[in-house]
Chain A
Amino acid sequence: MHWDVISNNFSYFLIGAYPQGPLGGLAMSILLALGGIFGAFWLGLLIGLMRISKSRFCRIFALVYTEIIRGTPLLMVIFWFYFLAPIAFGHTLPEAESALIALIVFTSAYIAEIVRAGIESLPKGQSEAARGTGLSRLQAMRYVILPQALFNMIPSFVNQFVSLTKDTSLAFIIGVNELTKAATQVNNRTLNAPTEIFITIAVLYFIICYVLTALSRRLEKRINRYQARDR
């Protein structure tokens, strides 16, 4: 076994060539995941709300959006954005930004469905009562429906976010220097320690995903307590 390869390159796996060069490795994966989670949540929420909106145009747009994105492999979406961006914006997007947009767009379609299901699963009486107190549709959604529905959605969100975190590894096909790419670079240079390198990478991915699920469990517990007190 050649575990010295891991110790010699461990800082490269963690932060890439930073600070002498561009950021990479695990740090880049985490940045992509965090950016993806943040963007996908808000875009997904918007699309999800459009799905149940009163306007027919909004509903159809959201439906077509989710169906097209859900019916395309993520690998295609990443490629597609990378090669379409110059045509759409007139200049090339850096690889990392392009991959981030693709991850956001892809995951938002799934988030939208979670949001729709979460809202529709609440008893109708909730929105009727809220409207009965004189709140507008928007206010009812903001102050009564969403706080309850979003809480119910947390397990599904976490599922999707963990999956997004692992999906960042696909960004390596367009040359984003994230963890998988860093591993390939080191593996191709040393050639004698593929098993050790990829075990290390798997452990690193596991750790970030585990931290994410552990955090969400704590969040759920805290909200649970808060809700119980209110009741």
Chain B
Amino acid sequence: MRRLALFLVVAALVALAATPALAGKLDDIKARGTLIAGVKDSQPPFGFVDEQSKQIVGFEIDICKALADKLGVKLETKPVTSSTRIPMLTQGAIDLVAATMTHKKDREDQIDFSITYFMTGQKLLVKKDGGIKSVKDLAGKKVGSVKGSTSEQNVKKAQPECTVISFETYPEAFLALKQGKVEAVTTDESILVGLQNSDAKPDDFAIVGEYISPEPYGLGLAENDSDFRDFVNVALMDMWTSGEFQKIYTKWFGKDTKFYIPLEWEMELWP
């Protein structure tokens, strides 16, 4: 028993000693020569594996590439999931998170955020001739969404009189819409656009309504490193004013893409 207690004490001491030391991220990155970005690998067009090259590509990867170029270092991408992205950032395994992360107040306790680099929100995907124009028309109707998503709760709040039917995945919810089991599918606009265009006849469907809830995406940065945060924010603003940002945006969300979303918001620019 004494030996067990000794073991536990030693383990606790090792844990304390191993707490990562706080050094400036900016210096770390330059010394290392690489910017390590945590990105999604199954969320087109933000971050996904390209069928031909089999590399991770996407809107967020290009944003990170531009940041790396500004620092004069190489970009290294590391796939993260929604549950690993914040722990990996706080542990220092990655320098920043560019993984469709909504800037939420309660996340501010653990990490810092850059300014918004993508603005989306929850909307409705409906059949074109279905007669639904906004959340108001959903009273007494069935709406499809995905289990455990925030979209599920938000639509119920916006229209208490609708019935939410939850599916495992978005393609399933979309199939239910096609078969008439639900009258609308609701989630982030960027996902709805992808669903719509995965169909053989995308013109039979439409994305309607105001944003049920806004979802501003921010780059996740380690807490309390203002030098690095300043760099990222200023770099993003420079990209916006120089037109580089719009070029990347059009590449992934422009008219000729499967994910056409007009650029209807403006980046926050500091004078």
The answer to whether A and B interact is yes
Q: A194: which of B17, B81, B171 is its contact (CB, 8 Å)?
A: B171
Q: B80: which of A89, A175, A188 is its contact (CB, 8 Å)?
A: A175
* Contact (A185, B41) CB under 8 Å given A17-B54, A20-B54, A174-B81: yes
User: Quick check: B87 and A191 within 8 Å, CB to CB?
Assistant: no
CB contacts under 8 Å to B, within A1-52, are: 8-9, 12, 16-17, 20-21
User: Quick check: A88 and B87 within 8 Å, CB to CB?
Assistant: no
Q: Which of A21, A177, A191 has the most CB of B within 10 A?
A: A191
User: In the complex, how many residue pairs between chain A and chain B have their CB atoms under 8 Å apart?
Assistant: 81
* Interface residues on chain A, number (Cβ under 8 Å): 32
* Contact (A92, B93) CB under 8 Å given A17-B49, A192-B198: yes
For the complex formed, measure the closest distance between the CB of A169 and the CB atoms of chain B, giving whole angstroms: 14
User: Quick check: B54 and A189 within 8 Å, CB to CB?
Assistant: no
User: Quick check: A88 and B14 within 8 Å, CB to CB?
Assistant: yes
Indicate whether B18 reaches chain A with its CB closer than 8 angstroms: yes
User: Quick check: B49 and A185 within 8 Å, CB to CB?
Assistant: yes
Count class of interface residues, chain B:
35 or more
Indicate whether B129 reaches chain A with its CB closer than 8 angstroms: no
User: Quick check: A57 and B3 within 8 Å, CB to CB?
Assistant: yes
Q: Which of B171, B194, B199 has the most CB of A within 10 A?
A: B171
Indicate whether B203 reaches chain A with its CB closer than 8 angstroms: no
For the complex formed, measure the closest distance between the CB of A83 and the CB atoms of chain B, giving whole angstroms: 5
Indicate whether A76 reaches chain B with its CB closer than 8 angstroms: no
Apart from the given pairs A83-B87, A90-B17, A187-B169, 10 other A-B contacts in the complex at a CB distance below 8 Å: A9-B51, A20-B53, A20-B54, A21-B54, A83-B91, A88-B11, A173-B81, A175-B81, A191-B171, A191-B198
20 A-B pairs (CB sep. < 8 Å): A12-B49, A17-B55, A20-B55, A79-B83, A82-B87, A88-B18, A92-B91, A174-B81, A175-B80, A175-B81, A185-B48, A185-B49, A187-B171, A188-B43, A189-B44, A189-B49, A190-B198, A191-B170, A191-B195, A192-B199
Residues of A that sit less than 8 Å from B by CB = 8-9, 12, 16-17, 20-21, 57, 79, 82-83, 86-90, 92, 173-175, 177, 181, 184-192, 194
